[in-house]
Amino acid sequence: MTSTQRWTVDIDLYEDADHTHAEARLHTRDATDLRGKGAARRNPGDQNVPEIGDELAAARALYDLAHRLLKSAEIDVEQVTGEPAHLHS
C-alpha cells in the first residue's frame, strides 16, 4: 500500500547588528517536537549582508535538526528491536 505524508519545517530567524540565530521546528502528523538551532556571526571586517547570516544560521539549524531526527530514529529502532542501533547519515 502506498501512502503520502507531509512533514513541514518552519525556520524562525532572529537578527541583531552582527548576529543571526535560527530555530528550525519539525512538524509531523504524530506531533513530533524536534527543534534545531543555529547561529551566525558577522566578522567585523566583512560587509553587512544579512542574507548571508540568514543562510548560515538556517543551514546550521537544519543540520542540528537533522542530527536530532537521526538520533530519534535510532532510539525508535532500539525500542522496537531491543538491540543497540547505530544509524549513520
pLDDT tens column, 9-36: 999 999 988 899 999 999 998 877 899 9
63 is a domain residue: yes
pLDDT tens column, 35-55: 999 999 998 888 888 899 999
Residue 32: predicted pLDDT: 78
41 is a domain residue: yes
CA angle 82/64/40 to nearest 5° reads 165
Residue 33: predicted pLDDT: 85
Q: What is the pTM of this model?
A: 0.89
Residue 14: predicted pLDDT: 97
1 is a domain residue: no
Tell me the C-alpha distance between 20 and 35, whole Å: 17
Going across the sheet that includes 34-41, the strands are 8-15, 19-27, 34-41
Tell me the C-alpha distance between 46 and 78, whole Å: 47
Total domain count, the chain: 1
Q: What is the CATH number of the domain that holds 41?
A: 3.30.160.240
Residue 30: predicted pLDDT: 86
Mean pLDDT confidence for 65-82: 95
- Range of the structural domain that residue 42 is part of: 8-81
Assess whether pLDDT exceeds 80 at residue 89. no
